[in-house]
Amino acid sequence: MNGKVFIMDHPLIKHKISILRNKHTPTSEFRHLVEEIAMLEAYEAFRDLPLRNEEVETPLETCMTPVIDGKKMAIIPILRAGIGMVNGVHALVPSAKVGHIGLCRDPETHEPHEYYCKLPDLIEERLAVLLDPMLATGGSAVDAVNYIKKAGGKHIKFMCIIAAPEGLEKLTNEHPDVEVYVGNLDRGLNKDAYICPGLGDAGDRIFGTQ
């Protein structure tokens, strides 16, 4: 496999994913857990954010102290299900701007269709953090990265909660420069291109639709 892939091993992430998988977990709890897992993954994914020293006056004296340096951030959920992850990441980096990429898989071909896209300005200067709980065939993630790159985006991190090996391979082959953060790598896809064991349809479970 090409690329930079980080599979999460934190027990809190694993535990919370297990609750997500349970078909009896109600919508409100599901939504809350998706947000929490996104925050925990972001904590790992942002380990390499560069720091610079800044002068700060404490109540006692002046000191040089590290602050996050450099690029601004764009948080970009793939609609709909990616929206469920936004608040968890935004809570850690409140200054980030939020873009949206609307993609929907065709139920027959499993190919993604684009229906809405809007990115923040200066995308070429921002770290783009692309969010989608599910990386199944990889078609949606690849299309979303293509869109961000066409708009000028250069540094992209993709965060998902569950990935299938098929999707991970496609994304890392087509975009080896993208850093991919995965909550859990599952067994594979079924004939309908759903991840198994997975958690079902993430969008429907987050928004309470069928």
83: closest CA among 196, 199, 182, 202? 202
3-state secondary structure of 199: coil
Which residue number is nearest to ligand PRP in terms of Cβ? 203
* Binding-site partner at residue 135 among ligand PRP, ligand URA, none, CB < 5 to 8 Å by type: ligand PRP
| Minimum gap (Å) between residue 78 Cβ and ligand URA | 10
For residues 161 and 138, give the distance between their C-alpha atoms in angstroms, rounded to a whole number. 13
Instruction: Count residues near ligand PRP (CB under 6 A).
Output: 24
Q: Which residue has the tokens 């993954």?
A: 41
* Binding-site partner at residue 167 among ligand PRP, ligand URA, none, CB < 5 to 8 Å by type: ligand PRP
How would you write 130-168 as a 3-class SS string? EECCEECCCHHHHHHHHHHHHCCCCEEEEEEEEECHHHH
Q: For residue 83, what are the contacts with CB-CB under 8 A and spacing of at least 6?
A: 77, 206
Helix extents (H) in 48-121: 83-90
| One-letter amino acid for residue 36 of the chain | E
Nearest CB to ligand URA, comparing residues 46 and 194: 194
71: closest CA among 119, 122, 118? 122
- Positions touching ligand URA (CB under 6 A) are 81, 134, 136, 194-195, 198, 201-203
Q: Is 202 in the site for ligand PRP (CB under 6 A)?
A: yes
Catalytic residue, from 27, 65, 106, 109: name it. Answer: 109
Q: Is 183 in the site for ligand PRP (CB under 6 A)?
A: no
* Binding-site partner at residue 78 among ligand PRP, ligand URA, none, CB < 5 to 8 Å by type: ligand PRP
3-state secondary structure of 126: strand
Q: Is 88 in the site for ligand PRP (CB under 6 A)?
A: no
The reply to whether 105 belongs to the active site is yes
| Minimum gap (Å) between residue 202 Cβ and ligand URA | 4
Question: What are 64's two structure tokens?
Answer: 């040089």
* Binding-site partner at residue 99 among ligand PRP, ligand URA, none, CB < 5 to 8 Å by type: none
Nearest CB to ligand PRP, comparing residues 33 and 81: 81
Q: Which residue has the tokens 């993609």?
A: 103
Count of helix runs (H) and strand runs (E) in the chain: 6, 13
Q: Is 186 in the site for ligand PRP (CB under 6 A)?
A: no
The reply to whether 172 belongs to the active site is no
Residues of this chain that interact with ligand PRP (CB under 6 A) are 78-81, 103-105, 110, 112, 132-141, 167, 193, 201-203
